[in-house]
Amino acid sequence: MNLKLTKKTHACVQLEKDGRTLVIDPGTFSESDAALGADAILVTHEHLDHFNEERLRTGLEANRAAEIWTLRSVAEQISAAFPGRVHTVGHGDAFSAAGFDIQVHGELHAVIHPDIPRITNIGFLVDGSVFHPGDALTVPDHAVDTLMLPVMAPWNKISEVIDYVREVKPRRAIDIHDALLTDLARPIYDSQIGGLGGADHARLAPGDSTQL
């Protein structure tokens, strides 16, 4: 597969193939130009570290052909701002965006605390290979080559992260959702996830790329 992955800050990633660019979750923690150059944008849920309207506007104003695919809770907030360019999708849907084949998996955000109502959340499987789960430990009913792994969040702990890698069984796991992880903690996470997860484990600095 000729697919280039570029890590942005926190939960945002960019995928490039055949001259087309797909961006997932350009949120407030990500670079202000995280969606710039996108032909298609995917948003997993409404939390600000995954969804930022100004980031989306930057991408859509730069490329008038760019479009967004997201779940209803986000689409309802932005459809009026970007008429005709926002598509609502949910679990079980499949579609093509900028030459990428996308499958949607999952319905709910992980539990943060029982007293906090759960919101909706979807994950995206790109080209049957790369899975971005958003803020959930969704296991797609499809083999995954590269798992974008949310390593540090108010809703998870490292044992759950390790068990998630074991359950998905990807060939490789690459960290996302890591803006809250301190530099002191990173070697510990690298060692434990890499040693116990059962898959190749990688961490990319923001702006770094790898060929998949």
- Structurally, how many domains does the chain consist of? 1
At 13, list the tokens.
């990633």
Q: Are 181 and 188 in contact (CB under 8 A)?
A: no
What residue numbers bound the domain in which 92 lies? Answer: 4-211
pLDDT of residue 1: 63
Q: What is the mean pLDDT of the chain?
A: 97
pLDDT of residue 73: 98
How far is it, in rounded angstroms, from Cα 29 to Cα 84? 27
State the CB neighbour count (10 A cutoff) for residue 159: 10
175: CATH: 3.60.15.10
pLDDT of residue 30: 98
pLDDT of residue 2: 86
Burial label, 128 (beta-carbon count in 10 A; 0-12, 13-18, 19+): middle
pLDDT tens column, 163-173 = 999 999 999 99
